[in-house]
């Protein structure tokens, strides 16, 4: 059993912030008692929480109880209470009074409103009626329908049941849990409980619009309290008198992984699917590890990490951290430079937050917090441009080389690196043998790429993520976890039996893709679970348990034996963060928005894949995080995945027109290099994002080189189903599909020459495709004449002719396995 760790004053302040409003949750569950939330909070905290925290002295427990009870009272209290009280006031800057017509809310029945409904861009958004018509059900967090907003009139709050789930989960933590011996472990466990059960509980409801969750409000209050503790007495007193003054209170610190595209899409070989999957997962784990390293280096608790996903992380740090940031930045850069020679790095920057930045004014078109966000984003972009300048000045050999050993080529067939390229890779198993066979040469992989394939296999089957703090150390042979150990972190991805085998006291155990915090019980041991993490890990398997290769996925397609690559992401995300909420932008809303996106892309995407591919034979989710995804698989399932993701995302974001997705999918022979397929899909994604028509931009899907509106994709899908049905049942010959393709080609050939002609001349002299269409359709089955007439009318009158080539190709691909002589 590990000895209890002492808590620092800043950590104690953070714990006060994390606990201060828990009484609001219990008050909603026991509304008939008519007691204040401060009273509920103190009583429950003193009875259920504080007695279990062995790292606290009796005095510190008393201080926390007082912070919970007195955080709304004025008066000369101890500094702990004052800091929590001010942090609560600053964190509550997001609260927007209700309209007078709406009146006051009832905390016992009020539901949480989705933050998505308040987002607007370029006059696109929901009106007030639509915005207030959605709410979240009161249910524990689970990757199912409960995370989706629903019409408010269909929902009823059930806070008593939700509180019972919360309290039972807390009481089920075993006494041996690190949460009771380590303040940071407790902060992580408490945050996990809040995210699992208070994610749908409004932070405030009586006179405020309830669109920020209690979980996010408590986290932000805890983070701010940790930052405010270090303020000089004069500054603290001034903020207590006026919490909207231009007084610095914290550093908004951001980290950004550089070199993602280069690191992911320069792989080749027959095992590229496993290597690419391992690399993408590794970048996510690396981002988390660097965020944890920075957090510890700046001495802030886990609640201060507001977001970590998609190669980015953001945290709040005290003002004193400005002096520590260069050291931490240099340490991270040096470690990554040793291992990757600049191919993968992390930039780290910060901007000051003033108390006035946290004050919300819904009548302003822009928030000062949005300006700080743009400022930080600009500093991160600039830092990427000059990333290696300082390193080159102090140690130019690490940046400019020379790397490798020269002589006859000996390199990894996946990443093409040589031995000793850079210094950290010198023991990667690429020493030159005296003689090798052609087969051995073709299969020569460095230890890092081999470890990425092993990581891919582990992720596909893992149930738990295990973190263990260690003294930073360098390892001999480079593998995926080598950089993490150099940052002072050991990490495992385990199944239940593996977890029970190597768990040690003090390990932080996170359950994957399941918000349950129940301990893992074995025959002779019980392993405490501190939290949970959503990790995209949907993987296709062979019957023998091996991961399917691209050839297997291509052959499993319904129709032509090709595989598809899919890239998608949210349009205008940077603007949505900095501008989408206008004057309503707050730290808590930023946390709520980013966390909601992560739940969808890191967690719910797995469920979408399971629904489309229940036997795990077609789809491979290589990457999904932040706001984007990369998937490969049987080409027909990949198209279905894109359509389903878009539908579910629209439902998840309440059909808000300000929140749109663009995507692109490419089509490839089974032997086509996967990394090139991923790049091709990325190019099509950019084409979709550059698409413009009738004043609309983005919100498009490039299907095999043809950018279309999503409504056009749905139109093509509908007719694809009808036409393939005709080919199966109704006597239509397959030549019909090629006639449609010829008509589309005729239209596309003449279209560039039509813009300068009048409508009449165009009809008479140039629209041969139109008359050919009428002729061809008239010769087909009389029984289908109404449907064929409908197709003709939609092609001509609804301008669907631009989709005809894609439709014809789609049908042709779906039916290529059929007998082309007779059908």
The predicted model gives 532-561 an average pLDDT of 92
Q: What is the mean pLDDT of residues 776-791?
A: 73
CA distance 785 to 148: 42
CA distance 10 to 230: 8
pLDDT of 429 reads 40
Mean of the pLDDT values across residues 450-458?
Answer: 88
Residues 596 and 447: their CA atoms lie apart, in Å, by 37
pLDDT at 743: 79
Q: Is the pLDDT of residue 3 over 60?
A: yes
Q: How high is the pLDDT of residue 755?
A: 54
The neighbouring-strand residues paired with 469 are 489
pLDDT in tens, 212-254: 999 999 999 999 999 999 999 999 999 999 988 999 999 999 9
Highest-confidence segment of 202-211, 542-551, 608-617: 608-617
Residues 312-324 have a mean pLDDT of 95
pLDDT of residue 436: 44
Is the pLDDT score of 400 beyond 80?
no
Mean pLDDT of 570-599: 90
Q: Average pLDDT over the chain, rounded to whole?
A: 86
Mean pLDDT on 664-668: 96
- Nearest-angstrom CA–CA distance, 819 and 823: 6
Kindly list the distances between the CA atom of residue 14 and the CA atoms of 18, 68, 218, in Å, as whole numbers in the listed order: 6, 12, 10
Tens-digit pLDDT profile for residues 401-434: 665 555 555 677 777 776 544 443 333 344 444 4
Tell me the per-residue pLDDT of 537-547, one tens digit each, with 9 for 90 and over.
999 999 888 88
Top-ranked range on mean pLDDT: pick from 87-96, 711-720, 755-764? 711-720
Whether 265 has a pLDDT exceeding 80, the answer reads: no
pLDDT at 18: 97
Q: For residue 446, is pLDDT > 60?
A: yes
Q: Identify the band that residue 820 occupies on the pLDDT scale cut at 50, 70 and 90.
A: very low
Residues 286, 308: Cα–Cα separation, whole Å = 10
Residue-wise pLDDT tens digits, 473-523: 876 677 888 889 999 999 999 999 999 988 999 999 999 999 999 999 988
Provide the percentage of residues in the chain whose pLDDT is more than 90: 56
- By three-state DSSP, how is residue 659 classified? coil
Tens digits of per-residue pLDDT, 739-777?
888 878 777 766 655 555 455 445 544 466 565 666 566
| Mean pLDDT within 36-50 | 96
Q: How far is residue 489's CA from residue 225's CA, in Å, rounded to a whole number?
A: 27
What whole-number distance in Å separates Cα of residue 597 and Cα of residue 595? 5
For 110-156, what is each residue's pLDDT tens digit? 999 999 999 999 889 998 888 889 999 999 999 999 999 999 999 99
The pLDDT value recorded for residue 197 is 98
Nearest to 226 by CA among 307, 288, 295: 295
For the stretch 620-633, pLDDT in tens is: 999 888 788 999 99
> Please, what's the b/e burial string for 182-197 (b: 16 or more CB within 10 A of its CB; e: otherwise)?
bbbbbbbbbbbbbbbb
**Average pLDDT estimate for 4-22:** 93
Least confident of 68-72, 262-266, 293-297, 664-668: 262-266
């Amino acid at each position: 059993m590990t000895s209890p760790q002492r808590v620092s004053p800043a950590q104690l302040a953070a714990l006060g912030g994390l606990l201060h409003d828990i009484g609001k949750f219990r008050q909603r569950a026991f509304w008939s008692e008519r007691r204040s939330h401060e009273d509920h909070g103190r009583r429950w905290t003193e009875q259920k929480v504080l007695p279990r925290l062995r790292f606290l002295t009796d005095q510190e427990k008393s201080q926390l109880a007082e912070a919970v009870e007195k955080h709304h009272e004025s008066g000369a209290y101890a500094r702990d209470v004052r800091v929590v009280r001010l942090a609560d006031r600053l964190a509550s800057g997001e609260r927007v009074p209700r309209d007078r017509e709406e009146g006051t809310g009832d905390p016992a029945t009020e539901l949480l409103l989705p933050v998505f409904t308040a987002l607007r861009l370029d006059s696109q958004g929901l009106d007030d009626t639509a915005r207030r018509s959605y709410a979240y059900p009161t249910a524990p967090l689970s990757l199912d329908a409960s995370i989706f907003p629903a019409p408010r009139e269909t929902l009823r709050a059930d806070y008593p049941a939700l509180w019972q789930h919360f309290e039972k989960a807390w009481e089920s933590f075993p006494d041996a849990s690190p949460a009771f011996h380590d303040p940071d472990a407790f902060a992580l466990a408490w945050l996990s409980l809040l995210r699992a059960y208070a994610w749908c509980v409004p932070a405030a409801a009586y006179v405020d619009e309830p669109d920020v969750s209690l979980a996010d409000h408590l986290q932000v209050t805890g983070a701010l309290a940790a930052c405010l503790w270090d303020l000089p007495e004069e500054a603290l007193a001034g903020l207590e008198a006026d919490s909207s003054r231009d007084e610095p209170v914290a550093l908004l610190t951001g980290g950004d992984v550089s070199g993602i595209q280069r690191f992911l899409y320069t792989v080749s070989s027959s095992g590229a699917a496993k290597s690419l999957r391992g690399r993408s997962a590794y970048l996510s784990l690396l981002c988390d590890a660097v965020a944890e390293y920075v957090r510890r280096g700046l001495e802030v608790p886990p609640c201060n990490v507001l977001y970590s996903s998609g190669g980015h992380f953001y945290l709040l740090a005290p003002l004193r951290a400005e002096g520590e940031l260069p050291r931490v930045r240099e340490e991270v850069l040096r470690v990554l430079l040793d291992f990757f020679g600049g191919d993968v790095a992390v930039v780290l920057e910060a901007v000051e937050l003033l108390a006035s930045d946290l004050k919300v004014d819904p009548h302003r078109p822009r928030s000062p917090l949005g300006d700080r966000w743009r400022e930080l984003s600009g500093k991160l972009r600039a830092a990427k441009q000059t990333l290696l300048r300082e390193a080159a000045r102090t140690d130019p050999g690490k940046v400019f080389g020379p790397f490798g050993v020269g002589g006859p080529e000996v390199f990894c067939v996946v990443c093409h690196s040589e031995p000793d390229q850079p210094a950290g890779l010198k023991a990667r198993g690429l020493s030159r043998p005296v003689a090798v066979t052609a087969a051995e040469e073709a299969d020569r992989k460095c230890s890092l790429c081999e470890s990425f394939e092993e990581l891919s296999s582990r992720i596909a089957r893992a149930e738990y993520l295990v973190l263990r703090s260690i003294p930073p150390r360098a390892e001999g042979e480079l593998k995926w976890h080598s950089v993490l150990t150099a940052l002072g972190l050991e990490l495992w991805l385990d199944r239940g039996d593996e977890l029970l085998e190597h768990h040690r006291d003090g390990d932080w155990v996170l359950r994957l893709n399941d918000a349950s915090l129940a301990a893992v019980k074995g025959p002779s041991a019980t392993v405490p679970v501190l939290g949970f993490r959503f990790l995209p890990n949907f993987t296709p398997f062979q019957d023998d348990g091996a991961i399917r290769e691209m050839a297997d996925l291509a052959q499993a397609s319904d129709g032509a034996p090709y595989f598809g690559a899919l890239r998608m992401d949210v349009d205008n995300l940077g603007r949505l963060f900095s501008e989408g909420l206008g004057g309503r932008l707050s730290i808590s809303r930023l946390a709520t928005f980013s966390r909601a996106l992560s739940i969808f892309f890191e967690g719910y995407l797995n469920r979408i894949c399971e629904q489309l591919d229940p036997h795990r034979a077609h789809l491979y989710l290589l990457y999904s995080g932040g706001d984007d995804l990369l998937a490969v698989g049987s080409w027909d399932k990949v198209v279905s995945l894109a359509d389903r993701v878009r539908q579910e995302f629209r439902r998840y974001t309440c059909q808000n027109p300000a929140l749109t997705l663009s995507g692109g999918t490419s089509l490839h022979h089974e032997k086509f290099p996967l990394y090139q397929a991923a790049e091709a899909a990325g190019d099509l994604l950019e084409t979709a994002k550059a698409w413009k028509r009738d004043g609309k931009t983005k919100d498009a899907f490039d299907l095999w080189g043809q950018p279309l509106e999503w409504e056009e994709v749905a139109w093509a899908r509908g007719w694809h189903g009808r036409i393939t049905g005709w080919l199966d049942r109704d006597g239509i010959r397959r030549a019909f599909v090629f006639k449609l393709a010829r008509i589309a080609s005729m239209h596309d050939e003449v279209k560039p020459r039509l813009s300068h002609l009048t409508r009449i001349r165009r009809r008479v002299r140039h629209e041969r495709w139109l008359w050919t269409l009428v002729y061809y359709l008239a010769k087909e089955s009389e029984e289908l004449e109404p449907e064929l007439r409908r197709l003709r009318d939609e092609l001509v009158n609804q301008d669907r002719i631009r989709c005809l080539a894609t439709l014809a190709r789609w049908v042709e691909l779906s039916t290529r396995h059929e007998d082309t002589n007779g059908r």
